[in-house]
Amino acid sequence: MRKRSKVDPQDTGEFVPAARGRQWKPKNAAQSRLWDTITANTVTFVLGPAGTAKTHTSMAWALDAVRRSQYERIVLTRPIVTATEDLGFLPGDITSKISPFHRPQTEIAGKIDKTIPIEMVPLAFLRGVTLEDSICIGDEFQNATANQLRLYLSRLGGGSKMVVCGDTAQSDIHSSGLYAVAKAMIGLEDVGVFEFTDDDIVRHPLIGSMLNRIEGVH
């Protein structure tokens, strides 16, 4: 089994105070470095395998920033792709239809602070929209094309910050643009590109071993 480094929590940053519910803290040095990368840049691309807390760390940062009045709200979006499963008709208004896709983020918010305003917007509905005074988190963007990434990134408005998360190994489309776009951004001022590795998986230590075995299986 691949060994995973253990890092003293005292070396990985401060606790993020929770107004209600749990406190959040980095579980390893990589999460702490991601926190710093988001802080330092207006746009951050976060790549890496499942279980590395790409979404969790980004949401914790966003919740803390809104609580400290750096931004007015959190805006969540993602490509609506269902891993080749046909879910059929989903009842309700647009929020009801897309909320299951944003369950990971809203569950994190529920554990840290339920009072923070969160808006969920389908990626397809963002054309013509300017996202101002917001911390915007785009999740599962391995399922976005280069044109969809262009659409999302060009929504950035004044006083806002963007995070783009995805695992390029788990794309459910044949034309993912995430890796190519992130690679093109390397070296651009005020844009961070952060990549986790299998060694940074915190969900369960077995995940890294299984992913290594799956690599190359078709």
* Within-domain flag for 4: no
* Within-domain flag for 15: no
Whether 189 shows a pLDDT value over 70: the answer reads yes
Q: What is the pTM of this model?
A: 0.80
Residue-wise pLDDT tens digits, 8-31: 333 334 445 444 445 678 899 999
Q: How many domains does the chain have?
A: 1
CA distance to 24, 105, 198, 204, per residue, from 110 (Å): 12, 9, 27, 22
CA dist 160 and 142 (Å) reads 22
pLDDT of residue 104: 64
* Within-domain flag for 59: yes
> Are the C-beta atoms of residues 36 and 14 closer than 8 Å to each other?
no
* Within-domain flag for 175: yes
- CATH code of 132's domain: 3.40.50.300
* Within-domain flag for 173: yes
* Within-domain flag for 103: yes
CA dist 132 and 149 (Å) reads 18
Residue-wise pLDDT tens digits, 99-144: 655 566 777 776 778 888 888 888 888 989 999 999 999 999 999 9
CA dist 34 and 1 (Å) reads 26
Domain around 151: 42-79+91-197
* Within-domain flag for 36: no
Which tops the pLDDT comparison, 100 or 77? 77
* Within-domain flag for 11: no
